[in-house]
Structure 1
Amino acid sequence: MKQMIYSTLILGFLLIFLGCNRFQTSQVTITGQFAGNTPEVLSYTVPVNGTVFEGFYEEVTLDSLGGFEIRLELEKPALINFRYFDSPSLIVEQGKHYDIILNLSPDQKLSIEGNLGKVQEFYTGLMHTHPRSCIFSFGSHDPSEYLEIRRELQAELQKELNGFGEFLTMGEISEDVYALLVADRNVYYGTAQAVLASMNHLRINGDGSSTPDDLMEIWEEAISMVSSDQPFFLRSLYAYDYLFMTFWFNLYSALGYKEVVAIRAENRSQGLIHSNTIELAKEYSSDMNLEFFIAAYIDQQYRFRFFDQDLITVFEQFKTDYPQSAYTPFLEPLMQEVIEYVEKGI
């Protein structure tokens, strides 16, 4: 009997120890200080269900000296983005503590400093302009020169991937951090290349011409750069943009430009453009993480100020389809504003 009691106690202590150890190794602490211009609060993205999106964020209030502390629970390495224009992200791993200095310029550009290592320094130095606009930094800055810009995008990506590979070989980063960074930059450049192809596709078809085969090949190449089941794919800040460009490629490939334009025009005239987008996504991109896609879509439409009854309908359906969704708390305050706007009939 005593032996059974002792065994039970030992097992209990072991479970407590393992639970505490797991908690300790999964927590990330970021201690920071602002130098120069100091805001009242700092917004930062948080991983939700293994995904990252600029609209899913939390805030920390700074103390009187511009200091702050952020605590996160992570199962895998992540990129934490401070929500300022073209801000680089902070590479964080579970169980680690980071001391950083943030410098905010008069034009609201944010830089990250601190004893963060060569990998963070290398990553911070990469291009972080939004992939929807970074294409104007390449080639002749003329998007119609898409073959030249595509070559430069791919060359820049390969240079970055080679850099990550060197850090891995030298033991500077773990396999997981390497996989995260490779996925992140593939998503970044894949989104940029897809935007380049989409922009030219709309321009050429809008002029009454047919899309060249090489343009659709460039678009297809772009959306094939990262597999949707890659473990770190959805941890990239621009995963939603990548999925969105994949959705449009699938749609145009299946239906053709003219039919897509006709369908969209009809639904827009009926005030059903949001519902139509989600219906088409379910039909033509059913293999992607639809819960994440729809949640991010709702958030983005809010930020674009596309307030109407149809967006409310999409949100209500989202809550029905995903009653326990971790994204809902981020969306509810936004949608309450949309509801009030629609009810006032502004």
Structure 2
Amino acid sequence: MTDPVDLTARLIRCPSVTPLEGGALQLLEEVLRPAGFECHRVDRGGVPNLFARWGRKGHGRTFGFNGHTDVVPVGDPDAWTVDPFGGEIRAGFLWGRGAADMKSGVAAFAAAAIDFVADTPPDGAVILAITGDEEGQAINGTRAILDWMAEEGEHMSVCLVGEPTCPERLGEMIKIGRRGSMTARLTARGVQGHTAYPHRAKNPVTAMARLIDRLAAHELDKGSAHFDPSTLAPTTIDTGNAATNVIPATCSGAVNIRFNDLHDSAALTRWLRAEADRVAAETGVSIEMEVHVSGESFLTPPGPFVDLVSKAVAAETGITPRLSTSGGTSDARFIKDHCPVLEFGLVGQTMHQADEHVAVEDIRGLKRIYARILRDWFA
């Protein structure tokens, strides 16, 4: 039997801080190839990725797992009581950067897949799509793998992302969708002048403050069947002006919107532009806008795939998981255009923190859940 705890510890010892591979994907390749998985490195733009498939391409149903081996930086080393890349087991927990997010998830689904195809070879294929670019820009990570799959005629019938999804106990939550995310960067351009003669200037700070206030006060919606209300959060207003007697020429600002399935980024961009134009007309200050969309909202509706995963989680943990669309973005936002996708993984309370750790028994439990999902899917 493949030990997911040992594999997680070995992965933690690979210092794979984005965008460094750190030996993590090489380690997985060394574990998967002897088990009969055909492995391909799908590196793009200097970013390392791994595609592994057991079974014939295009043969029957194909179950996919997705995850990442890259991790965020350690931060202040003195804030750690253990070696961040030591993979140490202590007091029933496995410690190190990536323990929660998400080398344990990758190790659990890799171990489950290896043992599953060895014990009960399925009539179909199992795919592992693992990236080294989830914590960064995510431009050349899972998206690169999906592009390569399209070129090569590879396909997943469904996919399960192994991100940590549970708030406090393993089994509590499955993510069936995610909110969309977009950031608007705003630049107001006025006329610089002396504060004693404001009528001779056009104050971009006034325009920016008015615009940000209107945007923040606007209720986007009241939520939908599977999503909480959309939110808009101002994140910065800045002039770079240290002088208190000078009206600056420019002022910048930014807002981030997390939106549900009642909106899309195009419609929200039009609304933002209209509000900016209205304030510009009122103040005589021009307002430029640059929008970056991290992902659209999406939902995998309750149905056979959701039911199968939910029943497997309940059977192994005794907990009926909640179906949620909470949280930030994940690589599921790319996979949803390829096939139905869900997310289920460990408790994520310590991810990105100093002394990141997970319970050893939870890693073993997660492998059992993934193994049951594979058995039930191919049954």
Higher RCO (CA-CA < 8 Å; seq separation 6+): 2
**Greater strand share, structure number:** 2
**TM above 0.5, one fold?**
no
* TM-score, scaled relative to structure 1: 0.23
**Greater helix share, structure number:** 1
